Structure 1
Amino acid sequence: MEETGLSDSEIAFINTHKHENASQLILRAGQFKGLDIKKLAAQIISRQKAAKKLPEWYANEKLIFPPALSVEQCSSEATARFKASLVSGKTLVDITGGMGVDCFYMSRKFGNAHYFEMQETVAATAEYNFQQLGAANIKVHAADSLAALEAENIPADWIYADPARRNEQREKVVLLSDCTPDIVSNQEILFENTPNILLKTSPLLDIDLAARELQNLKEVYTIGYEQECKELLFVLDKNHNSAEFTIKVRILDDQGYPLKSLDFDREMERNAKVTYSAPASYLYEPHAAVLKAGAFKTSCERYALNKIAANSQLYTSESLVADFPGRSFKITAICKPDMREISKHIGGDKANLTTRNFPAKTEELRKKWKLKEGGDYYLFATTLSDNTRVVIVTTKAAT
């Protein structure tokens, strides 16, 4: 096998230039004799992308990083740590290896772990990185995981899968069967090896379509990190025979601990009571993970809020609700969607702008109103329940 690691001189070069523009380093390659600058520049680019996303890996100067796109697509340290909080036991089998971030963090909760990856170079890099990280309990297999599971039973407490899209040009993943490996068709094989499956997918996947495809679905997590819904997690339990499943919203901090949580199911959502009112003292914008979960009516009932309109997905209350899973704002004014009116309330031409249930996009309004991005004011261009179009002027609530 080709030598995987970095030499001392390569590590020194990366450390010296890790904050620099990699393209400029390539242009100056002639200055650095005896070094493959394209290779090292690629490592620098990937490390720069990993600095915030994977701080523990970034801090280890011996690790080899895959191309920058792979770093962008891999799990963050925060979401990987959260996944590790859901699983434990004697044996873990990761059937879709890749960079190995999820496998590494989850393996800490098991006596041993099996990592499967069909691409030999990817598997070799992961094996090298696991060694540098001290994960001696992970056994790397450069092999087809499903074929291995079918050929020889590997008893596991949990199987983990992060299936990839077959066609990277597709704008949207609609069905799990559009992914590789096809978990839907191979559930029987997986359950012959384990009672528990943790499945990660893109947040673009339709939750209810996936629920109809999967057997023994117990829980679905919509994972929020910073302002985005980062991923969906499907928990399959061989002993869960009900068609009902719980949806769990988790908004994480940098260490993977939930800052905000919301649990419900589809029946609760159908039966939740919704009340409407004009904007009161406070305005609430649900986190993207709440919206993905579909907790539109549940959010109203659970936090004793009113919706400002059926389709706006903005909520209001007279008193501040501190634990709302999203952003909370203090309303300072409500005005017509006209810049002359807005500027009276924001004292200039600078504010953050969001549109919800409004017949114009954010960028269109920003251009029309000559509104600069930033500042302490947050504007919501929206439609009220009586179909009046307004701009709600707010500042962040002190929580």
Structure 2
Amino acid sequence: MNKPNSQTDRQEAGFSETEIGFIQTNLKENPGQLILRAGQFKELDVKKLAAQILSRQKAVKKLPEWSANERLIFPPALSVEQCSSEATARYKASLVSGKQLMDVTGGMGVDCFYMSRKFDHALYFEQQEEVAKTAEYNFKQLGCNNITVHNADSIQAIENKKVPSDWIYADPARRNTNREKVVLLSDCTPDITASLPVLFENAPNILLKTSPLLDIDLASRELENLAEVHVIGYEQECKELLFVLKKDCKTENFTIKTRIINAAGEVLHQLDFDRESERNAPVSYSNPLRYLYEPHPAVLKAGAFRTLCAEFDTRKLAVNSQLYTSENYIPDFPGRPFKIVAVCKPDMREISGYIQSGKANLTIRNFPGKTEELRKKWKLKEGGDFYLFATTLTDNAKVVIVTTKP
């Protein structure tokens, strides 16, 4: 795409100094209230600027580097919510390198921006003209000069002319033409499973991002040449799945790499295994000992239920409880550790002997009922320094484990 030349083009691509000043001055204001007061700013398109303010509010924590740049154009708030975070984008960049990267699904361009730092050159493809134009403008404002933006259908483009690259990155849209969420990879747009032959003609390595809701084993049956699946955890959420496909990989036994990262994309906890090792991992069971561990959601998504016992010398409370215990403290366990104060019957009269304030954080694991129902029944306020786990032990006893942070 051509860089704008005229003053008119520059204003269309970005914002005037007055508009930037308005956005920055009102960053902490309620965008809806700004629109209601639009009459006070007759020289400005307040609705457009309020949308930018809302998007920037969504991006402050998720995209700190982008948020700090006053000149960037942000897409609608929903798109900001759905895009990769800076943390996960930086992690992706740690997986790839080479002379050329090809991003075949474009979008806001967050992943392409961070991954491009590991390449001499990057190609960004996006079918929507306005999205591609905005991405090109933003890349320039961020000082990124090694990305070439193409407003085109990437699959058609590389079918017509080969574009040799070291890596191809894809984040296909997970909604169909009716804007309904889809489950299968083959229902996403573009259909990466159908496009694998042409993609591998252009690069030996493919990095595919999907929703954390995707079934890993179901997806693995749709994908050839699958070498690794990275299950990414950030803060207390499983954020995304990354499928690494390699042209020369012929085995069906892929490695699952669970990675819990920090804001810089650095790995805090990791756990590698495969389905066979998980099936064969020794597991033992125990009633609560001195410490209790709640696996990170990314570990649970990966399905490392038996592997946790083998790798971290812990015991499960029950087959389906997915809570672990140990006599000695394990600081590198991939999840939240707790010190056990007491094991009670699920009766508030007994529980209240340990939490006189009537305030505690409550988690249910393999226990009848819902969290809010139990809170209401026990007249339990949320918060405080105590953490309650309502669960079931190996003898089917229903208990509440009272814990604190170690």
TM-score with structure 2 length normalisation?
0.96
Letter in 2 for 1:21: N
Which of 176, 180, 187 is residue 185 of structure 2 equivalent to? 176
The aligned runs of 1:230-309 (5 Å cut-off) are 230-309=239-318
CA RMSD of aligned residues (A): 1.0
1:351-381 superposed Cα distances (whole Å, 9 cap, x missing partner): 0000000011111111111111100000000
Tell me the secondary structure at the aligned position of residue 309 of structure 2.
Answer: helix
Shift of 1:4: 1.4
The equivalent of 2:347 in structure 1 is 338
The aligned runs of 1:202-213 (5 Å cut-off) are 202-213=211-222
Q: Distance in 1 between matches of 2:179 and 2:299?
A: 27
Letter in 2 for 1:333: A
Shift of 1:346: 1.1
Q: How many residues align?
A: 396
The equivalent of 1:392 in structure 2 is 401
Letter in 2 for 1:50: A
Q: Distance in 2 between matches of 1:317 and 1:170?
A: 44
The equivalent of 1:84 in structure 2 is 93
Letter in 2 for 1:328: P
The equivalent of 1:49 in structure 2 is 58
> Where in structure 2 are there 5+ consecutive unaligned residues?
none
% identical aligned pairs: 72
- Comparing 14-23 and 364-373, the one that deviates more: 364-373
Tell me the secondary structure at the aligned position of residue 374 of structure 1.
Answer: coil
1:175-214 superposed Cα distances (whole Å, 9 cap, x missing partner): 1112111010110000000000000000000000111110
1:88-144 superposed Cα distances (whole Å, 9 cap, x missing partner): 000000000000000000000001100000000000000000010011100001100
The equivalent of 2:197 in structure 1 is 188
Letter in 2 for 1:65: F
The equivalent of 1:160 in structure 2 is 169
Letter in 2 for 1:338: D
Which of 4, 14, 20 is residue 5 of structure 1 equivalent to? 14
Q: Distance in 1 between matches of 2:114 and 2:379?
A: 47
- 2:47 counterpart of 1:38: yes
Tell me the secondary structure at the aligned position of residue 343 of structure 2.
Answer: strand
Tell me the secondary structure at the aligned position of residue 306 of structure 2.
Answer: helix
Tell me the secondary structure at the aligned position of residue 347 of structure 1.
Answer: coil
The equivalent of 1:131 in structure 2 is 140
Shift of 1:33: 2.5
Q: Distance in 1 between matches of 2:385 and 2:167?
A: 47
Letter in 2 for 1:7: S
- Comparing 321-330 and 335-344, the one that deviates more: 335-344
Which of 353, 356, 364 is residue 355 of structure 1 equivalent to? 364
Tell me the secondary structure at the aligned position of residue 185 of structure 1.
Answer: helix
- 2:332 counterpart of 1:323: yes
1:45-87 superposed Cα distances (whole Å, 9 cap, x missing partner): 0000000000000000000000000000000000000000000
- Comparing 1-10 and 260-269, the one that deviates more: 1-10
Q: Distance in 2 between matches of 1:69 and 1:48?
A: 12
Q: Distance in 1 between matches of 2:199 and 2:376?
A: 53
Q: Distance in 1 between matches of 2:102 and 2:130?
A: 20
The equivalent of 1:29 in structure 2 is 38
> Where in structure 1 are there 5+ consecutive unaligned residues?
none
1:19-65 superposed Cα distances (whole Å, 9 cap, x missing partner): 11111111111111310000000000000000000000000000000
Tell me the secondary structure at the aligned position of residue 164 of structure 1.
Answer: coil
Tell me the secondary structure at the aligned position of residue 336 of structure 2.
Answer: strand
Tell me the secondary structure at the aligned position of residue 94 of structure 2.
Answer: helix
The equivalent of 1:371 in structure 2 is 380
Q: Distance in 2 between matches of 1:286 and 1:363?
A: 22
Shift of 1:170: 4.3
Shift of 1:348: 2.1
Q: Distance in 1 between matches of 2:349 and 2:36?
A: 50
Which of 223, 243, 250 is residue 232 of structure 2 equivalent to? 223
Shift of 1:174: 2.8
